[in-house]
Chain A
Amino acid sequence: DPKIIQKPKYLVAVTGSEKILICEQYLGHNAMYWYRQSAKKPLEFMFSYSYQKLMDNQTASSRFQPQSSKKNHLDLQITALKPDDSATYFCASSQGGAPNERLFFGHGTKLSVL
């Protein structure tokens, strides 16, 4: 059974709309991350959270907002969608956020913005 669940697996949106990408992990981890993968930038760090607090942020645009309602959830809200936002978004987790910890990834949500 997958230990990191991302929903939905595929998502089609129109330009200007808003979507929420869901991520839940059942590994008992305290750190969670979002990455984006596209042809232009293969695996790009977006956010890191540890114990539900933002640790680091590489996303220039405020259109991307992570939301952590529970320790094992880190959703990603994207507003005012643009075609350039089309990518696969991966959620990941690690034990506590320490620098030498391995990351566990979900299977991704593939977003297409028309």
Chain B
Amino acid sequence: GDSVTQTEGQVALSEEDFLTIHCNYSASGYPALFWYVQYPGEGPQFLFRASRDKEKGSSRGFEATYDKGTTSFHLRKASVQESDSAVYYCALGASGGNYKPTFGKGTSLVVHP
């Protein structure tokens, strides 16, 4: 079945550091790719998506480019802030005839002031 592998565990940075969270996927079809963010006590929130190869999605200074060749959708931000501390999920839209949007295991970002 479809699956997502992303940077495991926690990423700890200082304010103004550069962020990369890796995301690789395996899918039978040609899925849309998403990033979601989750704050404590809340459900995941949509950050942005990309639907085709080479398309860049972006929001709030975060960005990722759909790369079908390397099956990747890495999340990047040039300069993180303490308020970016949260759990980030890479996700696949449903594809190949299924209706199961699939999420990675999440990466906890902690930004120190």
A interface residue numbers (CB < 8 A to B): 4, 33, 35, 42-45, 48, 50, 55-56, 58, 90, 92, 97, 99-108
Count of chain B residues near A, Cβ 8 A = 26
Give chain A residues whose Cβ lies under 8 Å from the Cβ of B105.
42-43
In order of increasing CB-CB distance, the 6 nearest A-B pairs are A105-B43, A100-B32, A55-B99, A56-B99, A43-B103, A102-B46
A43 touches B99 (CB 8 A): no
The closest CB in chain B to the CB of A31 belongs to B99
20 contacts between A and B (CB under 8 A): A42-B103, A42-B104, A42-B106, A43-B44, A43-B106, A45-B103, A48-B100, A48-B101, A55-B99, A56-B98, A90-B44, A97-B99, A99-B31, A99-B32, A99-B93, A99-B95, A100-B51, A102-B46, A105-B45, A108-B43
A107 to chain B minimum Cβ distance, whole angstroms, is 5
User: Which residues of chain B are within 8 angstroms of A104 by Cβ–Cβ distance?
Assistant: 46
Beyond A43-B89, A92-B43, whether A103 also contacts B101 by CB under 8 A is yes
Q: How far is the CB of B79 from chain A (nearest CB, A)?
A: 26
Complex formed: what's the CA distance from A104 to B31 in Å?
A: 18
Which residues B48-103 have CB closer than 8 A to chain A? 49, 51, 89, 93-95, 98-103
Give the distance in Å from the alpha carbon of A81 to the alpha carbon of B74 in the complex. 39
Cβ distance A13 to chain B, nearest Cβ, rounded Å: 21
- Cβ of A39 to closest chain B Cβ, rounded Å: 11
Cross-chain contact B94 with A99 (CB below 8 angstroms): yes
Q: Which of B31, B49, B89, B100 contacts A102 (CB 8 A)?
A: B49
B66: min CB distance to chain A, Å? 11
Q: Is B34 an interface residue (CB 8 A)?
A: yes
**Contact indicator B34/A107 (Cβ below 8 Å):** no
Chain B residues numbered 8-23 whose CB sits less than 8 Å from any CB in chain A: none
Q: Which of A43, A90, A101, A103 has the largest count of B CB atoms less than 10 A from its CB?
A: A43
- Of A48, A58, A102, chain B has the most CB atoms within 10 Å of the CB of A102
User: What is the chain B residue whose CB lies nearest that of A54?
Assistant: B99
Q: Is B41 an interface residue (CB 8 A)?
A: yes
